[in-house]
A and B are shown apart, each in its own frame.
Chain A
Amino acid sequence: MRTDTPRMQEVMIGVGLRHAHYGDVLADRAAIDFIEVHSENFFGRGGAARAILSEVAEQYPISLHSTAMGLGSDSAIPEAYLMALQGLVEMVSPILVSDHAAFTWSQLNGLPVHAGDLLPLAYNEETLERISRNIARCQHTLDRRLLLENVSAYLTPANSSLSETAFLTAVADESGCGLLVDLNNIVVNARNAGSSDVEGDARAWLDQIAPHHVGELHLAGYSEVSEGEIAIDDHARPVSDVVWSLYAHALRRFGAVPTLIEWDNDLPDWQVLLSEADKARQIAHKVLNDRA
Protein backbone atom coordinates (compact mmCIF):
# COMPACT_ATOMS: atom_id res chain seq x y z
CA MET A 1 0.00 0.00 0.00
CA ARG A 2 1.31 3.40 -0.95
CA THR A 3 1.79 5.58 2.12
CA ASP A 4 3.63 8.65 0.82
CA THR A 5 1.67 11.80 0.02
CA PRO A 6 1.24 12.37 -3.71
CA ARG A 7 3.50 15.16 -4.89
CA MET A 8 1.61 18.36 -5.68
CA GLN A 9 2.18 19.84 -9.11
CA GLU A 10 2.82 23.55 -9.14
CA VAL A 11 3.30 25.97 -12.01
CA MET A 12 5.83 28.80 -12.13
CA ILE A 13 3.81 32.00 -12.36
CA GLY A 14 5.39 35.24 -13.55
CA VAL A 15 4.39 38.78 -14.45
CA GLY A 16 5.67 41.19 -17.05
CA LEU A 17 7.64 44.10 -15.65
CA ARG A 18 7.08 47.57 -17.07
CA HIS A 19 8.70 50.87 -16.20
CA ALA A 20 5.87 52.05 -13.92
CA HIS A 21 6.42 49.09 -11.60
CA TYR A 22 10.22 49.26 -11.22
CA GLY A 23 9.90 50.71 -7.72
CA ASP A 24 7.23 48.20 -6.65
CA VAL A 25 9.10 45.12 -7.76
CA LEU A 26 12.17 46.11 -5.76
CA ALA A 27 10.30 47.31 -2.66
CA ASP A 28 9.07 43.90 -1.47
CA ARG A 29 9.66 40.35 -2.61
CA ALA A 30 6.37 39.45 -4.29
CA ALA A 31 4.85 35.97 -4.37
CA ILE A 32 5.75 35.35 -7.99
CA ASP A 33 8.16 32.87 -9.48
CA PHE A 34 9.70 34.91 -12.28
CA ILE A 35 9.72 38.31 -13.96
CA GLU A 36 9.52 38.80 -17.69
CA VAL A 37 11.11 41.83 -19.33
CA HIS A 38 11.23 42.97 -22.93
CA SER A 39 14.84 42.42 -23.94
CA GLU A 40 15.18 45.49 -26.16
CA ASN A 41 14.32 47.84 -23.30
CA PHE A 42 17.68 46.89 -21.79
CA PHE A 43 19.90 46.95 -24.87
CA GLY A 44 21.70 50.10 -23.74
CA ARG A 45 25.23 49.23 -22.65
CA GLY A 46 24.72 50.74 -19.20
CA GLY A 47 22.63 53.20 -17.24
CA ALA A 48 19.73 53.09 -14.83
CA ALA A 49 17.56 50.58 -16.72
CA ARG A 50 20.26 47.92 -16.76
CA ALA A 51 21.09 48.60 -13.13
CA ILE A 52 17.47 48.01 -12.17
CA LEU A 53 17.33 44.83 -14.23
CA SER A 54 20.45 43.63 -12.51
CA GLU A 55 18.84 44.26 -9.11
CA VAL A 56 15.62 42.54 -10.14
CA ALA A 57 17.61 39.57 -11.41
CA GLU A 58 19.15 39.19 -7.95
CA GLN A 59 15.67 38.74 -6.48
CA TYR A 60 13.75 36.90 -9.20
CA PRO A 61 14.44 34.51 -12.06
CA ILE A 62 14.17 36.42 -15.33
CA SER A 63 12.46 35.59 -18.61
CA LEU A 64 13.82 37.56 -21.57
CA HIS A 65 11.01 38.21 -24.02
CA SER A 66 12.11 39.84 -27.26
CA THR A 67 9.76 41.73 -29.51
CA ALA A 68 12.08 42.82 -32.28
CA MET A 69 14.15 39.85 -33.43
CA GLY A 70 11.92 39.31 -36.46
CA LEU A 71 12.68 35.60 -36.68
CA GLY A 72 10.42 35.16 -39.69
CA SER A 73 12.12 37.88 -41.73
CA ASP A 74 13.45 36.92 -45.13
CA SER A 75 16.77 38.52 -44.22
CA ALA A 76 19.10 37.29 -41.51
CA ILE A 77 18.94 38.83 -38.04
CA PRO A 78 21.67 41.47 -37.79
CA GLU A 79 24.71 40.44 -35.81
CA ALA A 80 24.47 43.58 -33.65
CA TYR A 81 21.03 42.55 -32.45
CA LEU A 82 22.15 39.05 -31.55
CA MET A 83 25.22 40.39 -29.73
CA ALA A 84 23.07 42.74 -27.66
CA LEU A 85 20.72 39.89 -26.76
CA GLN A 86 23.62 37.60 -25.96
CA GLY A 87 25.05 40.25 -23.63
CA LEU A 88 21.76 40.42 -21.81
CA VAL A 89 21.54 36.63 -21.55
CA GLU A 90 25.00 36.57 -20.00
CA MET A 91 23.98 39.32 -17.59
CA VAL A 92 20.76 37.82 -16.17
CA SER A 93 21.02 34.08 -16.97
CA PRO A 94 17.34 33.92 -17.91
CA ILE A 95 15.20 30.86 -17.29
CA LEU A 96 13.39 31.50 -20.58
CA VAL A 97 14.19 33.35 -23.81
CA SER A 98 11.45 33.97 -26.34
CA ASP A 99 10.31 35.96 -29.34
CA HIS A 100 7.51 35.81 -31.88
CA ALA A 101 6.55 34.06 -35.11
CA ALA A 102 6.68 37.31 -37.04
CA PHE A 103 8.91 39.30 -39.36
CA THR A 104 10.26 42.81 -38.97
CA TRP A 105 13.56 43.20 -40.87
CA SER A 106 13.30 44.06 -44.53
CA GLN A 107 14.22 46.71 -47.06
CA LEU A 108 12.52 49.99 -47.78
CA ASN A 109 13.56 51.93 -50.86
CA GLY A 110 16.58 49.68 -51.14
CA LEU A 111 17.78 50.32 -47.59
CA PRO A 112 17.58 48.14 -44.47
CA VAL A 113 14.62 48.84 -42.20
CA HIS A 114 13.23 47.56 -38.92
CA ALA A 115 9.45 47.71 -38.94
CA GLY A 116 9.08 48.00 -35.18
CA ASP A 117 6.17 45.58 -35.07
CA LEU A 118 5.26 41.91 -35.17
CA LEU A 119 4.29 41.53 -38.82
CA PRO A 120 2.36 38.47 -39.96
CA LEU A 121 3.96 35.56 -41.80
CA ALA A 122 2.81 33.54 -44.73
CA TYR A 123 2.68 29.99 -43.40
CA ASN A 124 4.44 28.02 -46.12
CA GLU A 125 7.57 26.02 -46.82
CA GLU A 126 9.71 29.01 -47.76
CA THR A 127 8.92 30.84 -44.52
CA LEU A 128 9.39 27.61 -42.58
CA GLU A 129 12.86 27.16 -43.97
CA ARG A 130 13.83 30.77 -43.32
CA ILE A 131 12.48 31.05 -39.78
CA SER A 132 14.01 27.72 -38.84
CA ARG A 133 17.38 28.94 -40.10
CA ASN A 134 17.07 32.19 -38.13
CA ILE A 135 16.04 30.35 -34.97
CA ALA A 136 18.89 27.87 -35.33
CA ARG A 137 21.39 30.72 -35.60
CA CYS A 138 19.91 32.47 -32.61
CA GLN A 139 19.89 29.30 -30.54
CA HIS A 140 23.47 28.60 -31.54
CA THR A 141 24.55 32.14 -30.58
CA LEU A 142 22.74 32.08 -27.25
CA ASP A 143 23.51 28.41 -26.64
CA ARG A 144 19.98 27.76 -25.46
CA ARG A 145 16.54 26.84 -26.69
CA LEU A 146 14.29 29.64 -27.83
CA LEU A 147 10.53 29.76 -27.35
CA LEU A 148 8.49 30.98 -30.31
CA GLU A 149 5.20 32.78 -29.64
CA ASN A 150 2.09 32.76 -31.81
CA VAL A 151 1.00 36.31 -32.66
CA SER A 152 -2.16 38.29 -33.25
CA ALA A 153 -2.36 39.03 -36.96
CA TYR A 154 -4.45 41.84 -38.44
CA LEU A 155 -3.73 40.93 -42.04
CA THR A 156 -3.65 37.54 -43.74
CA PRO A 157 -0.61 37.29 -45.99
CA ALA A 158 -1.03 35.61 -49.33
CA ASN A 159 0.79 32.38 -50.14
CA SER A 160 -0.03 30.47 -46.95
CA SER A 161 -0.28 26.73 -47.52
CA LEU A 162 -0.19 25.57 -43.89
CA SER A 163 -2.40 26.25 -40.89
CA GLU A 164 -0.84 28.29 -38.09
CA THR A 165 -0.63 25.27 -35.80
CA ALA A 166 0.88 23.07 -38.51
CA PHE A 167 3.42 25.79 -39.25
CA LEU A 168 4.41 26.29 -35.59
CA THR A 169 4.68 22.54 -35.09
CA ALA A 170 6.90 22.22 -38.15
CA VAL A 171 9.12 25.09 -36.96
CA ALA A 172 9.51 23.47 -33.56
CA ASP A 173 10.31 20.11 -35.16
CA GLU A 174 12.72 21.64 -37.64
CA SER A 175 14.59 24.06 -35.39
CA GLY A 176 14.31 22.41 -32.00
CA CYS A 177 12.73 25.52 -30.49
CA GLY A 178 9.83 25.36 -28.07
CA LEU A 179 6.53 27.18 -28.31
CA LEU A 180 5.23 29.98 -26.17
CA VAL A 181 1.48 29.70 -26.52
CA ASP A 182 -0.29 33.03 -26.07
CA LEU A 183 -3.90 32.23 -25.29
CA ASN A 184 -5.11 35.79 -25.78
CA ASN A 185 -3.62 35.92 -29.27
CA ILE A 186 -5.53 32.78 -30.21
CA VAL A 187 -8.74 34.38 -28.92
CA VAL A 188 -8.11 37.67 -30.72
CA ASN A 189 -7.40 35.90 -34.01
CA ALA A 190 -10.50 33.71 -33.68
CA ARG A 191 -12.64 36.72 -32.90
CA ASN A 192 -11.23 38.71 -35.82
CA ALA A 193 -11.78 35.75 -38.13
CA GLY A 194 -15.48 36.00 -37.31
CA SER A 195 -15.67 32.79 -35.30
CA SER A 196 -19.10 31.99 -33.92
CA ASP A 197 -17.48 29.90 -31.17
CA VAL A 198 -14.28 31.65 -30.14
CA GLU A 199 -13.57 29.44 -27.16
CA GLY A 200 -14.34 26.25 -29.05
CA ASP A 201 -12.09 27.25 -31.92
CA ALA A 202 -9.35 28.27 -29.51
CA ARG A 203 -9.56 24.90 -27.76
CA ALA A 204 -9.28 23.18 -31.11
CA TRP A 205 -6.17 25.29 -31.84
CA LEU A 206 -4.60 24.14 -28.56
CA ASP A 207 -5.50 20.53 -29.27
CA GLN A 208 -3.42 20.66 -32.46
CA ILE A 209 -0.25 21.52 -30.56
CA ALA A 210 1.81 18.67 -29.12
CA PRO A 211 2.42 19.05 -25.36
CA HIS A 212 6.15 18.39 -25.64
CA HIS A 213 6.60 21.54 -27.75
CA VAL A 214 5.06 23.93 -25.23
CA GLY A 215 7.45 25.75 -22.93
CA GLU A 216 5.38 28.68 -21.67
CA LEU A 217 1.89 30.17 -21.66
CA HIS A 218 0.97 33.85 -21.88
CA LEU A 219 -2.28 35.17 -20.41
CA ALA A 220 -3.63 38.64 -21.16
CA GLY A 221 -6.72 40.64 -21.91
CA TYR A 222 -7.68 42.98 -24.72
CA SER A 223 -9.97 45.94 -25.17
CA GLU A 224 -13.29 45.00 -26.76
CA VAL A 225 -14.25 46.85 -29.91
CA SER A 226 -17.57 47.22 -31.63
CA GLU A 227 -18.98 44.69 -34.08
CA GLY A 228 -17.16 44.78 -37.40
CA GLU A 229 -14.03 46.36 -35.97
CA ILE A 230 -10.74 44.48 -35.58
CA ALA A 231 -9.81 43.66 -31.99
CA ILE A 232 -6.23 44.48 -31.04
CA ASP A 233 -4.07 42.48 -28.70
CA ASP A 234 -3.36 45.56 -26.62
CA HIS A 235 -2.68 43.92 -23.23
CA ALA A 236 -4.61 46.76 -21.65
CA ARG A 237 -7.22 44.80 -19.68
CA PRO A 238 -7.39 42.05 -17.06
CA VAL A 239 -7.18 38.50 -18.34
CA SER A 240 -10.55 37.78 -19.93
CA ASP A 241 -12.95 35.06 -18.79
CA VAL A 242 -12.49 33.13 -22.01
CA VAL A 243 -8.70 33.16 -21.57
CA TRP A 244 -9.04 31.92 -17.97
CA SER A 245 -11.22 29.11 -19.23
CA LEU A 246 -8.72 28.30 -21.98
CA TYR A 247 -5.94 28.37 -19.41
CA ALA A 248 -7.53 25.49 -17.53
CA HIS A 249 -7.84 23.59 -20.80
CA ALA A 250 -4.22 24.34 -21.72
CA LEU A 251 -2.98 23.12 -18.34
CA ARG A 252 -4.87 19.86 -18.71
CA ARG A 253 -3.30 19.37 -22.13
CA PHE A 254 0.22 20.74 -21.63
CA GLY A 255 0.81 20.15 -17.91
CA ALA A 256 2.69 22.40 -15.50
CA VAL A 257 3.96 24.98 -17.96
CA PRO A 258 5.43 28.31 -16.75
CA THR A 259 2.74 30.96 -17.08
CA LEU A 260 2.97 34.70 -17.48
CA ILE A 261 0.48 37.49 -16.88
CA GLU A 262 0.99 40.19 -19.53
CA TRP A 263 -0.26 43.72 -19.03
CA ASP A 264 1.51 46.39 -21.09
CA ASN A 265 -0.87 49.34 -21.51
CA ASP A 266 -3.17 51.21 -19.12
CA LEU A 267 -1.15 49.57 -16.40
CA PRO A 268 -2.90 48.72 -13.15
CA ASP A 269 -1.40 48.97 -9.68
CA TRP A 270 1.30 46.41 -9.01
CA GLN A 271 -1.01 44.69 -6.51
CA VAL A 272 -3.68 44.19 -9.18
CA LEU A 273 -1.10 42.55 -11.40
CA LEU A 274 -0.06 40.30 -8.53
CA SER A 275 -3.68 39.36 -7.87
CA GLU A 276 -3.96 38.21 -11.50
CA ALA A 277 -0.88 36.09 -10.95
CA ASP A 278 -2.43 34.69 -7.79
CA LYS A 279 -5.58 33.79 -9.71
CA ALA A 280 -3.48 31.93 -12.28
CA ARG A 281 -1.73 30.07 -9.49
CA GLN A 282 -5.02 29.00 -7.92
CA ILE A 283 -6.41 27.77 -11.23
CA ALA A 284 -3.22 25.87 -12.00
CA HIS A 285 -3.12 24.30 -8.56
CA LYS A 286 -6.72 23.16 -8.84
CA VAL A 287 -6.50 21.88 -12.40
CA LEU A 288 -3.23 20.04 -12.06
CA ASN A 289 -3.84 18.52 -8.66
CA ASP A 290 -7.45 17.56 -9.30
CA ARG A 291 -6.14 15.80 -12.37
CA ALA A 292 -3.38 14.17 -10.36
Chain B
Amino acid sequence: MKSKPMKSEQQRLIAAIFAGEGISGFDPKGLAIYQRNLQATALRALEISFPTVEQLIGKDLFRYAANRLLVLSPPTAGDWGTWGADFGDLLDHLIELEDYPYVADGARLDFRVHQANRAADASVDASSLQLLGTVPTDRLRLTLNDGVGLLASDYPIVDIWMAHHDQRGSARRWIDAAQEKMTQGVGQTALVYRRHYHSQARAIGSAERNWLQSLQEGVSLADALERASQTGFEFEQWLPQAVADNLIRNVERY
Protein backbone atom coordinates (compact mmCIF):
# COMPACT_ATOMS: atom_id res chain seq x y z
CA MET B 1 0.00 0.00 0.00
CA LYS B 2 1.34 3.44 -0.95
CA SER B 3 2.41 5.50 2.03
CA LYS B 4 0.87 8.92 2.55
CA PRO B 5 3.66 11.14 3.86
CA MET B 6 1.84 14.33 2.86
CA LYS B 7 -1.37 13.42 4.65
CA SER B 8 0.37 12.19 7.77
CA GLU B 9 2.74 15.15 7.93
CA GLN B 10 -0.10 17.63 7.58
CA GLN B 11 -2.12 15.82 10.23
CA ARG B 12 0.88 15.75 12.54
CA LEU B 13 1.42 19.50 12.27
CA ILE B 14 -2.24 20.27 12.85
CA ALA B 15 -2.34 17.98 15.88
CA ALA B 16 0.71 19.77 17.27
CA ILE B 17 -0.84 23.20 16.71
CA PHE B 18 -4.17 22.30 18.32
CA ALA B 19 -2.43 20.54 21.20
CA GLY B 20 -1.09 23.94 22.22
CA GLU B 21 2.18 22.52 23.51
CA GLY B 22 5.60 21.63 22.19
CA ILE B 23 5.82 18.37 20.23
CA SER B 24 9.05 16.79 19.11
CA GLY B 25 9.88 17.14 15.46
CA PHE B 26 8.84 20.78 15.20
CA ASP B 27 10.90 23.86 15.94
CA PRO B 28 9.31 25.12 19.18
CA LYS B 29 9.53 28.80 18.20
CA GLY B 30 7.86 28.29 14.84
CA LEU B 31 5.22 25.97 16.27
CA ALA B 32 4.46 28.50 19.01
CA ILE B 33 3.74 31.15 16.36
CA TYR B 34 1.10 28.97 14.71
CA GLN B 35 -0.36 28.07 18.11
CA ARG B 36 -0.61 31.74 19.11
CA ASN B 37 -2.07 32.67 15.72
CA LEU B 38 -4.76 30.02 16.06
CA GLN B 39 -5.70 31.05 19.57
CA ALA B 40 -5.75 34.75 18.69
CA THR B 41 -7.87 34.20 15.59
CA ALA B 42 -10.29 31.95 17.47
CA LEU B 43 -10.60 34.52 20.26
CA ARG B 44 -11.31 37.34 17.78
CA ALA B 45 -13.95 35.23 16.07
CA LEU B 46 -15.75 34.37 19.32
CA GLU B 47 -15.58 38.00 20.49
CA ILE B 48 -17.56 38.94 17.40
CA SER B 49 -20.07 36.09 17.74
CA PHE B 50 -20.50 36.13 21.54
CA PRO B 51 -20.23 39.76 22.72
CA THR B 52 -22.69 39.29 25.59
CA VAL B 53 -20.87 36.27 26.97
CA GLU B 54 -17.56 38.11 26.93
CA GLN B 55 -19.10 40.94 28.93
CA LEU B 56 -20.71 38.51 31.35
CA ILE B 57 -17.65 36.41 32.16
CA GLY B 58 -14.75 38.78 31.52
CA LYS B 59 -11.83 38.60 29.12
CA ASP B 60 -9.67 36.09 30.99
CA LEU B 61 -12.31 33.40 31.40
CA PHE B 62 -13.57 34.08 27.89
CA ARG B 63 -10.08 33.49 26.49
CA TYR B 64 -9.79 30.27 28.49
CA ALA B 65 -13.18 29.09 27.21
CA ALA B 66 -12.21 29.94 23.62
CA ASN B 67 -9.08 27.79 23.92
CA ARG B 68 -11.14 24.95 25.36
CA LEU B 69 -13.56 25.19 22.45
CA LEU B 70 -10.68 24.91 20.00
CA VAL B 71 -9.78 21.55 21.53
CA LEU B 72 -13.28 20.18 22.10
CA SER B 73 -14.98 21.48 18.96
CA PRO B 74 -12.38 22.63 16.44
CA PRO B 75 -13.49 24.64 13.40
CA THR B 76 -14.51 22.64 10.35
CA ALA B 77 -15.27 25.43 7.86
CA GLY B 78 -13.14 28.18 6.42
CA ASP B 79 -15.52 30.78 7.79
CA TRP B 80 -14.94 31.63 11.45
CA GLY B 81 -18.36 33.27 11.56
CA THR B 82 -19.96 29.83 11.57
CA TRP B 83 -17.84 28.50 14.44
CA GLY B 84 -19.17 28.36 17.99
CA ALA B 85 -22.42 26.40 17.80
CA ASP B 86 -21.15 24.26 20.70
CA PHE B 87 -19.96 27.15 22.86
CA GLY B 88 -23.10 27.06 25.01
CA ASP B 89 -22.63 23.35 25.72
CA LEU B 90 -19.02 23.96 26.71
CA LEU B 91 -20.00 26.80 29.06
CA ASP B 92 -22.64 24.53 30.61
CA HIS B 93 -19.83 22.32 31.89
CA LEU B 94 -17.27 24.93 32.94
CA ILE B 95 -16.71 24.60 36.66
CA GLU B 96 -15.95 28.33 36.83
CA LEU B 97 -19.54 29.06 35.78
CA GLU B 98 -21.19 26.68 38.18
CA ASP B 99 -22.89 29.57 39.97
CA TYR B 100 -23.85 31.31 36.71
CA PRO B 101 -25.90 28.72 34.82
CA TYR B 102 -27.61 31.33 32.64
CA VAL B 103 -24.36 32.13 30.78
CA ALA B 104 -24.65 29.03 28.57
CA ASP B 105 -28.09 30.06 27.33
CA GLY B 106 -26.69 33.58 26.91
CA ALA B 107 -24.16 32.05 24.53
CA ARG B 108 -26.87 30.20 22.63
CA LEU B 109 -28.77 33.47 22.25
CA ASP B 110 -25.65 35.35 21.11
CA PHE B 111 -25.03 32.68 18.48
CA ARG B 112 -28.60 32.85 17.16
CA VAL B 113 -28.37 36.62 16.92
CA HIS B 114 -25.04 36.32 15.12
CA GLN B 115 -26.44 33.80 12.64
CA ALA B 116 -29.46 36.04 12.07
CA ASN B 117 -27.06 38.86 11.20
CA ARG B 118 -25.58 36.64 8.48
CA ALA B 119 -28.85 35.14 7.23
CA ALA B 120 -30.02 35.74 3.68
CA ASP B 121 -31.60 39.14 3.17
CA ALA B 122 -35.34 38.75 3.03
CA SER B 123 -38.51 40.73 3.29
CA VAL B 124 -42.10 39.64 3.18
CA ASP B 125 -43.63 38.76 -0.16
CA ALA B 126 -46.55 41.13 0.39
CA SER B 127 -48.51 39.88 -2.59
CA SER B 128 -48.57 36.36 -1.15
CA LEU B 129 -50.48 37.65 1.90
CA GLN B 130 -53.49 38.11 -0.38
CA LEU B 131 -53.83 34.32 -0.43
CA LEU B 132 -55.04 34.58 3.16
CA GLY B 133 -58.37 35.97 1.93
CA THR B 134 -58.82 33.77 -1.11
CA VAL B 135 -57.52 30.26 -0.34
CA PRO B 136 -58.74 27.93 2.42
CA THR B 137 -56.28 27.87 5.32
CA ASP B 138 -55.87 24.09 5.14
CA ARG B 139 -54.23 24.65 1.75
CA LEU B 140 -51.86 27.36 2.93
CA ARG B 141 -48.62 27.46 4.85
CA LEU B 142 -46.89 30.49 6.37
CA THR B 143 -43.10 30.41 6.16
CA LEU B 144 -40.70 32.40 8.33
CA ASN B 145 -37.54 34.16 7.24
CA ASP B 146 -34.18 32.40 7.70
CA GLY B 147 -33.02 34.67 10.48
CA VAL B 148 -36.00 33.93 12.72
CA GLY B 149 -35.10 31.75 15.70
CA LEU B 150 -36.53 30.65 19.03
CA LEU B 151 -34.68 29.85 22.22
CA ALA B 152 -36.41 28.71 25.39
CA SER B 153 -34.50 29.09 28.63
CA ASP B 154 -35.03 28.51 32.34
CA TYR B 155 -33.38 31.90 32.83
CA PRO B 156 -34.32 35.50 31.86
CA ILE B 157 -31.95 35.45 28.91
CA VAL B 158 -33.68 38.22 27.00
CA ASP B 159 -33.50 40.65 29.92
CA ILE B 160 -29.81 39.75 30.39
CA TRP B 161 -29.12 40.15 26.69
CA MET B 162 -30.95 43.48 26.55
CA ALA B 163 -28.95 44.77 29.53
CA HIS B 164 -25.91 44.55 27.24
CA HIS B 165 -27.48 45.63 23.97
CA ASP B 166 -30.20 48.19 24.68
CA GLN B 167 -29.01 51.37 23.02
CA ARG B 168 -31.34 53.60 25.04
CA GLY B 169 -29.34 53.53 28.24
CA SER B 170 -31.83 51.30 30.04
CA ALA B 171 -29.35 48.66 31.18
CA ARG B 172 -30.25 49.13 34.85
CA ARG B 173 -33.92 48.46 34.17
CA TRP B 174 -33.10 45.20 32.33
CA ILE B 175 -30.71 44.07 35.06
CA ASP B 176 -33.36 44.71 37.73
CA ALA B 177 -35.94 42.80 35.70
CA ALA B 178 -33.53 39.90 35.22
CA GLN B 179 -32.68 39.75 38.90
CA GLU B 180 -36.36 39.71 39.84
CA LYS B 181 -37.07 36.84 37.46
CA MET B 182 -34.02 34.94 38.70
CA THR B 183 -35.28 35.27 42.23
CA GLN B 184 -38.67 33.97 41.19
CA GLY B 185 -37.20 31.21 39.01
CA VAL B 186 -38.86 32.61 35.89
CA GLY B 187 -37.36 31.88 32.48
CA GLN B 188 -37.91 33.45 29.08
CA THR B 189 -38.28 32.36 25.48
CA ALA B 190 -36.33 34.55 23.10
CA LEU B 191 -37.51 35.36 19.60
CA VAL B 192 -34.60 36.39 17.36
CA TYR B 193 -35.35 38.26 14.17
CA ARG B 194 -33.79 40.77 11.85
CA ARG B 195 -35.15 44.06 10.64
CA HIS B 196 -33.01 45.44 7.81
CA TYR B 197 -29.45 44.67 8.93
CA HIS B 198 -30.02 44.73 12.66
CA SER B 199 -30.83 41.51 14.52
CA GLN B 200 -32.90 41.80 17.66
CA ALA B 201 -34.24 39.62 20.44
CA ARG B 202 -37.43 39.99 22.39
CA ALA B 203 -39.21 37.83 24.94
CA ILE B 204 -42.37 36.08 23.82
CA GLY B 205 -45.11 34.28 25.71
CA SER B 206 -46.01 30.63 25.42
CA ALA B 207 -48.89 31.26 22.98
CA GLU B 208 -46.64 33.00 20.42
CA ARG B 209 -43.89 30.45 21.01
CA ASN B 210 -46.23 27.53 20.28
CA TRP B 211 -47.56 29.33 17.22
CA LEU B 212 -44.09 29.97 15.83
CA GLN B 213 -43.05 26.39 16.54
CA SER B 214 -46.03 25.18 14.52
CA LEU B 215 -44.97 27.39 11.63
CA GLN B 216 -41.39 26.14 11.88
CA GLU B 217 -42.68 22.57 11.71
CA GLY B 218 -44.25 23.46 8.38
CA VAL B 219 -47.82 22.44 9.21
CA SER B 220 -50.75 23.93 7.31
CA LEU B 221 -52.08 27.27 8.41
CA ALA B 222 -55.34 25.59 9.43
CA ASP B 223 -53.50 23.16 11.72
CA ALA B 224 -51.36 25.94 13.17
CA LEU B 225 -54.47 28.03 13.86
CA GLU B 226 -56.23 25.04 15.38
CA ARG B 227 -53.34 24.45 17.78
CA ALA B 228 -53.14 28.18 18.55
CA SER B 229 -56.83 28.43 19.33
CA GLN B 230 -56.18 26.38 22.45
CA THR B 231 -53.69 28.95 23.77
CA GLY B 232 -55.62 32.16 23.21
CA PHE B 233 -53.31 33.25 20.38
CA GLU B 234 -54.78 36.00 18.15
CA PHE B 235 -53.55 35.65 14.56
CA GLU B 236 -55.10 38.93 13.36
CA GLN B 237 -53.28 40.90 16.06
CA TRP B 238 -50.01 39.06 15.50
CA LEU B 239 -49.83 39.44 11.73
CA PRO B 240 -49.16 43.22 11.39
CA GLN B 241 -46.41 43.14 14.02
CA ALA B 242 -44.91 40.03 12.43
CA VAL B 243 -44.73 41.84 9.10
CA ALA B 244 -43.18 44.90 10.77
CA ASP B 245 -40.61 42.68 12.50
CA ASN B 246 -39.78 40.96 9.22
CA LEU B 247 -40.66 37.52 10.58
CA ILE B 248 -42.60 36.32 7.55
CA ARG B 249 -41.17 35.29 4.22
CA ASN B 250 -44.45 34.48 2.52
CA VAL B 251 -47.73 32.62 2.49
CA GLU B 252 -47.64 29.74 0.08
CA ARG B 253 -49.97 27.02 -1.14
CA TYR B 254 -49.64 23.87 0.94
Could you tell me which A residues sit within 8 Å of B by CB distance? Answer: 40, 43-51, 66, 68-70, 73-75, 78, 80-81, 84, 103-104, 106-109, 111-117, 119, 122, 126-127, 130, 154-159, 229-230, 232
Contacts of A112 on B, CB cut-off 8 Å? 76
Whether B119 pairs with A81 at a CB distance below 8 angstroms is no
Whether A158 pairs with B78 at a CB distance below 8 angstroms is no
Whether A106 pairs with B11 at a CB distance below 8 angstroms is yes
Between B4, B7, B146, the greatest number of chain A beta carbons within 10 A of the residue's beta carbon is seen for B7
Residue of B9, B74, B122 touching A46 (CB-CB under 8 A) = B122
**Residues of B18-54 contacting chain A, CB below 8 A:** 18, 26-27, 29-31, 33-34, 37-38, 41-42
B64 to chain A, nearest CB (A): 18
Whether B13 pairs with A119 at a CB distance below 8 angstroms is yes
Whether A43 pairs with B7 at a CB distance below 8 angstroms is no
Residue of B30, B118, B119 touching A154 (CB-CB under 8 A) = B30
Whether B79 pairs with A68 at a CB distance below 8 angstroms is yes
Whether A155 contacts B13 in the complex (CB less than 8 A), given A40-B78, A51-B197, A117-B37, comes out as yes
Select from chain A the residue with minimum beta-carbon distance to B16.
Answer: A155
Whether A108 pairs with B26 at a CB distance below 8 angstroms is no
Select from chain B the residue with minimum beta-carbon distance to A80.
Answer: B77
Whether A114 pairs with B31 at a CB distance below 8 angstroms is no
- Provide the B51-94 mask, 1 if CB < 8 A to any CB of A, else 0: 00000000000000000000000111111111000000000000
Whether A106 pairs with B10 at a CB distance below 8 angstroms is yes
10 A-B pairs within 8 Å (CB atoms) are namely A43-B79, A107-B11, A107-B14, A113-B74, A115-B38, A117-B41, A154-B29, A155-B34, A230-B30, A232-B33
Whether A46 pairs with B118 at a CB distance below 8 angstroms is yes
Contacts of A106 on B, CB cut-off 8 Å? 7, 10-11, 14
> Interface extent on B, as a size class?
35 or more
Whether A230 pairs with B29 at a CB distance below 8 angstroms is yes
Give complex CA distance A109, B7 in Å: 13
Give complex CA distance A198, B197 in Å: 48
Whether B120 pairs with A158 at a CB distance below 8 angstroms is no
Whether B10 pairs with A103 at a CB distance below 8 angstroms is yes
Give complex CA distance A78, B26 in Å: 28
Give complex CA distance A108, B8 in Å: 11
B88 to chain A, nearest CB (A): 20
A221 to chain B, nearest CB (A): 18
Whether A113 pairs with B75 at a CB distance below 8 angstroms is yes
Contacts of A48 on B, CB cut-off 8 Å? 117, 197
Whether A84 contacts B10 in the complex (CB less than 8 A), given A46-B119, A108-B18, comes out as no
Contacts of B17 on A, CB cut-off 8 Å? 115, 117, 119
Give complex CA distance A73, B76 in Å: 14
B214 to chain A, nearest CB (A): 25
Q: Which 3 A-B pairs have the closest CB atoms?
A: A44-B118, A68-B78, A46-B121
Give complex CA distance A69, B77 in Å: 10
Whether A116 pairs with B38 at a CB distance below 8 angstroms is yes
Contacts of B9 on A, CB cut-off 8 Å? 122, 157-159
Give complex CA distance A228, B194 in Å: 51
| B240 at interface, CB cutoff 8 A | no
Whether B34 pairs with A154 at a CB distance below 8 angstroms is yes
Whether A74 pairs with B10 at a CB distance below 8 angstroms is yes
Whether B13 pairs with A116 at a CB distance below 8 angstroms is no
Whether B118 pairs with A47 at a CB distance below 8 angstroms is yes
Residue of A47, A73, A81, A154 touching B10 (CB-CB under 8 A) = A73
Select from chain A the residue with minimum beta-carbon distance to B42.
Answer: A116
Contacts of A156 on B, CB cut-off 8 Å? 27, 30
Residue of A50, A80, A116 touching B75 (CB-CB under 8 A) = A116
Whether B29 pairs with A114 at a CB distance below 8 angstroms is no
Whether A155 pairs with B31 at a CB distance below 8 angstroms is yes
Give complex CA distance A92, B190 in Å: 36
Contacts of B41 on A, CB cut-off 8 Å? 116-117
Select from chain A the residue with minimum beta-carbon distance to B75.
Answer: A114
Give complex CA distance A81, B80 in Å: 12
B67 to chain A, nearest CB (A): 13
Whether A45 pairs with B118 at a CB distance below 8 angstroms is yes
Contacts of B76 on A, CB cut-off 8 Å? 111-114
Contacts of A122 on B, CB cut-off 8 Å? 5-6, 9
| B15 at interface, CB cutoff 8 A | yes
Contacts of A107 on B, CB cut-off 8 Å? 11, 14
Whether A114 pairs with B197 at a CB distance below 8 angstroms is no
B20 to chain A, nearest CB (A): 12
Give complex CA distance A4, B176 in Å: 80
Give complex CA distance A114, B83 in Å: 11
Whether A115 pairs with B118 at a CB distance below 8 angstroms is no
Select from chain A the residue with minimum beta-carbon distance to B117.
Answer: A47
Give complex CA distance A120, B209 in Å: 50
Give complex CA distance A84, B9 in Å: 28
Give complex CA distance A66, B38 in Å: 17
Contacts of A127 on B, CB cut-off 8 Å? 6
